[in-house]
Structure 1
């Protein structure tokens, strides 16, 4: 896998140029496999954030991007996709290097990120940006969808390229200009996006890159020149962003945390359940917002299922992310490891049964590695059942019947994802309709990012993906005329 080679890691990309960071500081990127610094990039401070907003504002208010016919924007996006495709091996390697994602799945996630852009291109050929409609108030009427303006896109560290691309795609298609603010732990993919935007000849200021820490990010969100914030990350940060945007009626899309439940029905065997849930919880070391972290099982089958899941977890090989023989790599950083360990302690103190895992693998004395972990006999009011752990920790919660399982699933501040484990599609449909969550899959953690994705309750506001996701980057205008304009006649 090709290591990423950045042309300007010591610069920021603002207004179509690679510029020095005002702070003069750099962000160090630490490998979770080795705990060693593997790269450095420029750090944007508050002054840099304001520069980026000014550049994006100028490009939107004065530049050609928003006024281009959609076909021209689509053509430019096609050039961007072409440039990104060439560098997908570097993007995949960057993910592994920065957050310890397995090399085995890195190409898929990278390709999925670029596909987000391609799907926006495909949508651009059919989306009705201007629609002539009937009106009782005017001889000629149009409903027009116009870009919302300057977008601040803030992506998390777990799957940074795929998630940033999911924000970039509708922003570009709609005619918005965008400021991409990657996580300071995983900025390398965003640098490659900026380099590819320059190669593709996108107008100056349409895409701007400013990696920075929390204070600078908050300053970006507070800048009145930002018309919309698209954020994926923690619910705590999302509440802050939502309050800031609400104070000035700015638009926001928030894809936040989850505590997603898998409801196991009686026709699904313990062995099948174990394979599905152990396979899910170890994906990206459990660091996925849509992760199935609560398994709600019939009380009479609880012990049998616990035994089967524990046996399956013990088969999981934990090791370095570039080792093709391992099934799970490290957690992304020291603070994440500390967080997971703190929840293990809370689970035990509150009376849950630690069945397997709960510590660092004995054979790995360096790196942020953790064992797949199962808690059984968990009550839904325990901390480990209420709060997002963001690690390979599964809670097994007994229930009395299907109605009780749905009650438990819905008894959460979150509502991002869910699953129904059954071979009966009718039964899966009935449960899925009653669970208050934005995405439900039968027999596993299923996602289709060409369709709308987002959450109920404190899992977020708005959706990403498909035409529904595009609408969050558009304003709707009604135009009433005495006659048809020449350009539309």
Structure 2
């Protein structure tokens, strides 16, 4: 059993003063894995105080100096790559090969990319006789989830720090392994005291941080319900907010699309991390006349996705993060079964391991536009297939949820696919399986949030613009 009972405050690892603790279990074995001591209001107070004391000096350092610290943190994290990947496998359930590449190596690369883009993002500009400077927003409360722990932390910390902000990070208590590695990396990089503070805890710890008068901005990734509450709390105090929330992303297959490629992409996206991905394609919108062909292709494709121990090199789908989350996802599947949708794949087709928080991947066909499964984020390995007769109907279906995080469009004509992509109300659209671009803006429309992460766009989220009028 690992004990995570210290927080990073003002350059030191300090014992938590809160009475609350959380015990997490290995997602595959269900054995107790670690205990986490929650930060108290006093810990939050100390962390914010340290950040405010460090802000004047940190914000006045050069962009080049701040970028150098980011590179040093990246180097220190890289030395702990295997340890962090093992933690993600145990805590979250992603298969090891994917965890190392997506959950560890990609975020480390993002620290370096952010450092490289800093000078461009923060450069001063002239507008006639005005000098426009980009100033750090101040003290940032960064609140991150468990599903991609290092990735989500990196998206906020690297951008905020290089912009000149000081940060108090409240990561999820369900994925502490990478957090411990990050604290060690910050200390190894000799990041100045108070620039980064880490207080682990649950919702009450986050609420204390959001409400603190010393916080200038809240950057949050998590559920839309929590995002609404955070926005209301921050808005009452006139604090800047950036929210990366839920999704119900759709992939539109136009009639001339490559059916096999569409299905491969949809299954890969929906089932990645066992569906525990906010930007996952969880709706596949196909021509009504082609539904039987898509149905057959989906059944065949799903048969190739082996579910099992994430430490096994042959496993493509691991368990969910916890017993509670397994129950939540299973309830969605049971309600869809009771609704008598076409079960393209169901839990009777898969033999699950005897232990672990596993859920068999499920695919339901001809799901109505107003159905729970078409409107709500399940956050599990569940795909809803919808059909259309006209292109107008396909676009309306894709745009027919409160969310707008991601999407995809497929056609033999890239130009046609692009025209349809321009009509989708979502923050990031893939055309014909185009790869993810870490330097492009990532964020959503509507209930998927506000603000952007990634590249120069993510850095700009943490700045204030200042115009200095010069004599003519």
Q: Distance in 1 between matches of 2:435 and 2:409?
A: 11
How is 1:103-182 mapped onto 2 (pairs within 5 angstroms)?
103-109=96-102, 110-135=104-129, 141-182=130-171
State the aligned residue count. Answer: 471
Q: Is the 8 A contact 1:113 1:165 kept in 2?
A: yes
DSSP-derived class of the 1:325 partner: coil
Structure 1 residue 52 corresponds to structure 2 residue 47: yes
Q: Distance in 2 between matches of 1:271 and 1:438?
A: 26
Q: Distance in 2 between matches of 1:275 and 1:202?
A: 44
Q: Is the 8 A contact 2:352 2:359 kept in 1?
A: no
Structure 1 segments unaligned to the other structure (5+ residues):
136-140, 484-489
CA-to-aligned-CA distance 1:153-191 (integer Å, 9 cap, x gap): 111111110111010111111110011111110022122
TM-score, normalization by structure 2: 0.96
Match of 1:346 in 2: 335
DSSP-derived class of the 1:268 partner: coil
- Cα gap change, 1:128 to 1:208, in 2 (>3 Å): closer
Q: Distance in 2 between matches of 1:76 and 1:273?
A: 42
Match of 2:454 in 1: 465
DSSP-derived class of the 2:120 partner: coil
How is 1:193-272 mapped onto 2 (pairs within 5 angstroms)?
193-272=182-261
Match of 1:410 in 2: 399
Q: Distance in 2 between matches of 1:437 and 1:124?
A: 26
Q: By how many angstroms is 1:361 displaced?
A: 4.4
Structure 2 segments unaligned to the other structure (5+ residues):
none
Pick the aligned partner of 2:356 from 353, 356, 367. 367
Q: Distance in 1 between matches of 2:50 and 2:356?
A: 40
* Structure 1: 4+ residue segments shifted above 6 A: none
* Cα-Cα RMSD: 1.8
CA-to-aligned-CA distance 1:380-409 (integer Å, 9 cap, x gap): 110000000001100110111211100111
Q: Is the 8 A contact 2:123 2:133 kept in 1?
A: yes
Q: Is the 8 A contact 2:38 2:205 kept in 1?
A: no
Pick the aligned partner of 1:68 from 61, 65, 88. 61
Q: Distance in 2 between matches of 1:249 and 1:36?
A: 44
Q: Distance in 2 between matches of 1:339 and 1:216?
A: 24
Match of 1:98 in 2: 91
- Cα gap change, 1:133 to 1:91, in 2 (>3 Å): same
Structure 1 residue 448 corresponds to structure 2 residue 441: no
Q: Is the 8 A contact 2:258 2:410 kept in 1?
A: no
DSSP-derived class of the 1:371 partner: coil
Q: Distance in 2 between matches of 1:422 and 1:202?
A: 49
How is 1:82-93 mapped onto 2 (pairs within 5 angstroms)?
82-93=75-86
Structure 1 residue 14 corresponds to structure 2 residue 9: yes
Q: Is the 8 A contact 2:250 2:407 kept in 1?
A: yes
Q: Is the 8 A contact 1:418 1:445 kept in 2?
A: no
Q: Is the 8 A contact 2:8 2:199 kept in 1?
A: yes
Match of 2:321 in 1: 332
Q: By how many angstroms is 1:363 displaced?
A: 4.1
Q: Is the 8 A contact 1:419 1:445 kept in 2?
A: no
CA-to-aligned-CA distance 1:397-442 (integer Å, 9 cap, x gap): 0111211100111111000000012232111101100011100002
